[in-house]
Chains A and B, each alone.
Chain A
Amino acid sequence: MSSELSRRSVFRAIGLGATAVAVPSLISACGDGSGGGGVGNAGTEQAAWPTYTAAKVPAPDLPGDGNDVQNGYTKYPSQVGTATNGKPGDGSVVKAVVITYGTPPGPKETNKFLQAVNEALGIDLQLTVVPDADYQAKMATLMAGDDLPDIMNIGGGYILPREADFVASKCADLSEYLSGDAVKAYPNLANIPTRAWKDMGRVKGRIMGVPVERPAPGNIFFANREMWKGVGVDDKAFSAGGWTSTDLLTAAKALTKDKKYALGASKSGNFGLGVHAPAWGAPNLWKNDGGTFSSYFTTPEFKQAVAFMRDLFAAGVYYPDALTVSQVDAKTHFAGQITGSLTDGFGAYSQMVTSAKGAYTVAPALPYAGGSAGGKIFAARSVFGYTVLKKAAPERIKLLLRVLDFLAAPFGTKEYELVHYGVEGTHFTRDAAGNPVQTDLWKGGENKTNLPITYLCDAPQVLFYPGVSPEAIALMHSFEQKTAPNLVRNPAYGLVSDTASKSEAAIRKTITDVLNSVVMGRASLDDWDAAVKRYKADGGDKIGEEYGKEYAASK
């Protein structure tokens, strides 16, 4: 639409109503209009990524490779250091908004965890937690209300409407504080690996946020090892590797009987797509073929994976009503040994082990080989999300960055201990070996699930979980080592596409609906081809083009 029709005519068109609706933003009604200018990085000067400076950490007994394999600790370090100098804050109020998967944390007056964190940070943290289920609605109103908190995490796998536009126009540009060597003023932020910064990406060439790091493995095929052993795939699937799609199908058929099902399934799991697609050699969401981007939906490997999932479904090895069951219920089925496996994020492991209560071994299965080029696993986006700051004076921004720096203090420091385990004697005690043991207060709700400050900023994750056995830690570590060479990354992470931010969610939903129908046998594989065509036409191709341009610009 032409720009003559812009602001003034809208005012006329809505008359008085505009005062009711529009006033909140009038103050800021300047140039950044409706984001028509684009938020891509192409044609902009790129701020350099923060210089990675590894922090001093206790020597791991299962060392990582600094990239795709995490440091593993089979016991808690006997000596913990400190990672910050003094309190980052000045006693002022800091408002923050963050997603939660827990229940309300309880008021400051009674929450000893929050009190201790506030004391250590030297701020009065006013944390608004947004339940996962309400996240999109709450964030949309927050954006519309133009009343941003000081700190806000955008994450949890959600894409906000016009997210990049929003960040570009409403959030503080952190480039001058973090780009290149500047980040050294915040040593714990400098300890965040570069892959996390890259997967967060830049907007208009600028660094607009701080990533909350996550380890490399993406969706994992978690299995009840004893059940699969019973049908003869133990060695191939869990230690030596080398099992194939035929092995999986045969074993799954043998396992499914007497009201037990080989494959757990849930609404958000999409029949384990995140495991099957790479096993058949499909790219991770996007394929970068020498600068030309195409969606994984469009690849023949992806179609093979869909066909295989269709065979699995036809064989009846999925838990019934796959797309009605919630992920929480699917976990219950797995814990109750009603299902023999469940696809979930890598981070779910410690919880699954705890739920199993030693009744069986929870083991991540190695990728099976589907077709000729298969046997891969998808790398997760290296970030849970990223944290943006409200525009403010430099002193204020620096204060907030110091707060984030504190929260990013690495494993084996006092700061990490406080943020992840609470106050010693109140939230945790130590066992004979010095490992933290959670108290009833922590288990009863005063914990970091309900006070999710680790989603504001966090240390690079390590393999250590209180209450999880050294064997389980070692298992995960060896899994990471074995799969590291087979990780498939998404080349589009960190790239910005206007079309993607406007319409990808909708067209992805449309094609996923068809995918479900095909897997469930309600639609044919030809229908899949038609859906791919439509996906491309509805914006898939355009997004690919834009990623291509972005990619060229970011090199």
Chain B
Amino acid sequence: MSSAALGKRAGRPAWQEPAKPVTKAAKGVALAFICLLVLVPFLVVISTSLASPDEVVANGGWVLWPEHPTLDAYRDIFRGGQVTKAIGVSIGVTLVGTLASLVATTLLAYALSRPQLVGGRKILLGILFTFLFPPGMIPAYLVVKQLGLLDNYAALIAPVMINVFNLVIVRGFIQGLPEELFEAARLDGAGEWQVLWRVVLPLSKAVLAVIGLFYAVSYWNAWFHASIYMSDSKFPIQQVLRMYVIQGAQLADPSAADAAAVSAPQTVRMAVVIIAVIPIILVYPLVQRFFVRGVLTGAIKS
């Protein structure tokens, strides 16, 4: 354990031999190439959002590097206050939703992972069934409506509270914890709650961080339920973003649809894309610190 801890600080564990220069160079080139592939298109989106509308139009819609950078597009977006509110809605839904999902998923996964639970396997199979046969749009809508959740922020959380994929992963993880730990805890006189609190949760920090990230991102990125269950004053940012970005893009029939309706300029559309990305990418570094080596090793040994 000490060597792992030391190694982490040094960047390279003691047992690992130094990398050959050739390998290093090859990895460097590969990573640089990958980053470039990702970043250039991203840069185009950012540049376009900073360019003047005339420059964008003259370039056919996209700008690689704005000649006269301006924040006008961003100013336009924040002027009405709707985008600010939508970001607030999304942050709220993401925070509350992630918390609710984590709690519900962990509890369920824990219960289903305990072998003594009567009927646990049947319940798990039932849940897998729902994963394979997701509800159709209209039945799901009717359920939400009957619960009185229409136009209620809960409608953005409750119908997607537990993701089967995440559940299966957490369950598998808990199941994989050494049985001796549970027995040891029980011998100490711990009940199920204490086992959960004092043994399972501390050891599951990493998996919960990852699942939490998955939930947070899916809450953040979701728009479909908002489009069906919510009215426009309660739209989250992704739905507002869609209204900026794809309005008018897929007209049913240009002559029948109102062709006079003005779509947002490209600069504004790209600015919204950037605005919608920024809050959520700030979450990742928080999760990243769980990806260091030996998190579990140390925990189990102590």
User: Interface on A for B, CB 8 Å cutoff?
Assistant: 20-21, 23-24, 100-107, 110, 128-129, 131-134, 137-138, 140-141, 144-145, 147, 155-158, 218-219, 267-269, 274, 326-329, 331-333, 335-336, 338, 343-351, 355, 357, 378, 380-381, 384, 444-446, 449, 452, 455
Contact A133 B242 (CB under 8 A): yes
**Chain B 234-262, CB within 8 Å of chain A: the 1/0 string?**
01000110111011111111111111111
Q: Is the CB–CB distance between A344 and B249 below 8 Å? A: no
Select one of A157, A328, A331, A445 contacting B80, CB under 8 A.
Answer: A445
Binds A, one of B3-11, B58-66, B155-163, B184-192: B58-66
Whether B263 lies near A157 (C-beta < 8 A) is: no
> Which of A133, A336, A449 contacts B261, CB < 8 Å?
A449
Which residues of A are found within 8 Å of B261, using beta-carbon distances?
101-102, 449, 452
Residues of B near A269 (CB, < 8 A) are 254
Report Cα–Cα, A297/B250, bound state, in Å: 23
**Interchain CB contact under 8 A, A104 and B57:** no
Taking the closest CB of chain A, its distance from the CB of B66, in whole angstroms, is 15
When distances are taken between beta carbons in the complex, the residues of chain A under 8 Å from B143 are 20
Q: Which of B139, B242, B254 has the most CB of A within 10 A?
A: B254
Chain A to chain B: the 9 pairs with minimum beta-carbon distance, closest first? A157-B256, A345-B259, A101-B261, A348-B259, A157-B252, A157-B253, A326-B249, A347-B260, A134-B227
Tell me the smallest distance from the CB of A360 to a CB of chain B, in Å. Answer: 12
Q: Which residues of B contact A145 (CB under 8 A)?
A: 141-142, 145
Q: A452 to B248: give the CA distance in the assembly, Å.
A: 14
- How far apart are A457's CB and chain B's nearest CB, in angstroms? 14
Q: Which residues of B contact A (CB under 8 A)?
A: 54, 56-61, 76, 79-82, 86, 137-139, 141-143, 145-146, 227-228, 231-233, 235, 239-240, 242-244, 246-264, 266
Smallest Cβ distance from B142 to chain A, in angstroms? 6
Given known pairs A131-B243, A138-B227, A338-B60, the reply for A103 and B254 (CB within 8 Å) is no
| Min CB gap A424→B, angstroms | 21
Chain A residues in 8 Å Cβ range of B243:
100, 102-104, 131
Quick check: A327 and B251 within 8 Å, CB to CB? yes
Asked if residues A133 and B250 are in contact (CB atoms below 8 Å), the reply is: yes
When distances are taken between beta carbons in the complex, the residues of chain A under 8 Å from B81 are: 106, 110
Docked CA distance A349–B255 (Å):
12
17 A–B pairs (Cβ distance < 8 Å), ordered by A: A101-B261, A103-B264, A105-B232, A106-B80, A131-B242, A137-B137, A145-B145, A157-B253, A219-B255, A328-B247, A332-B266, A338-B60, A348-B260, A378-B255, A445-B82, A449-B261, A455-B258
A468 vs chain B, min Cβ distance (A): 11
Residues from chain B with a CB closer than 8 A to the CB of A452 are: 261
Determine the distance from Cα of A20 to Cα of B262 in the docked complex, in whole angstroms: 42
Q: Is the CB of B80 within 8 A of A327?
A: no
Q: Write the nearest CB–CB distance from B92 to chain A, whole angstroms.
A: 16
A131 touches B247 (CB 8 A): yes
Q: Residues of A contacting B250 with CB < 8 Å?
A: 132-133, 267-268, 326-327
Given A141-B228, A332-B266, A445-B80, A101 and B257 contact (CB-CB distance below 8 Å): yes
Does the CB pair B60–A332 fall under 8 Å?
yes
Contacts of B58 in A (CB 8 A): 336
Contacts of B235 in A (CB 8 A): 104
Q: A103-B264, A346-B259 are in contact. Are A144 and B138 (CB under 8 A)?
A: yes
A84 to chain B minimum Cβ distance, whole angstroms, is: 24
B242, B244, B260, most chain A CB atoms within 10 A: B260
Q: Is the CB of B233 within 8 A of A107?
A: yes
Task: Tell me the complex Cα distance, A381–B139, Å.
Answer: 34
Residue B244 contacts which of A103, A347, A380 (CB distance < 8 angstroms)? A103
Pair B262/A351 contact, Cβ less than 8 Å: yes
For the complex, give the distance between the alpha carbons of A225 and B236 in Å.
43
In the complex, the answer to whether A104 meets B82 with C-beta atoms within 8 Å is yes
Q: Which residue of A lies closest to B82 (CB)?
A: A104
Given A103-B264, A336-B60; A345-B254 close (CB under 8 Å): yes
Q: Are B80 and A444 in contact (CB under 8 A)?
A: yes
Q: Which of A23, A274, A333, A445 contacts B60 (CB 8 A)?
A: A333
* A348-B146 in contact (CB<8A): no
Closest to B56 in A: A332
Using Cβ atoms and an 8 Å threshold, which residues of chain A touch B57? 332, 335-336, 355
CB distance from A171 to the nearest CB of B (A): 20
* CB within 8 Å for A380 and B256 given contacts A101-B247, A128-B232: yes
A23 and B142 CA atoms in complex are apart in Å by: 9
Do B251 and A268 touch (CB < 8 A)?
A: yes
A548 CB → nearest B CB, Å: 24
Beta-carbon contact of B257 and A157 below 8 Å: yes
Cα of A44 to Cα of B252 in the assembled complex, Å? 32
* CB pair B260 A156 closer than 8 Å: no
CB pair A347 B259 closer than 8 Å: yes
A96 to B196, CA, bound (A): 51
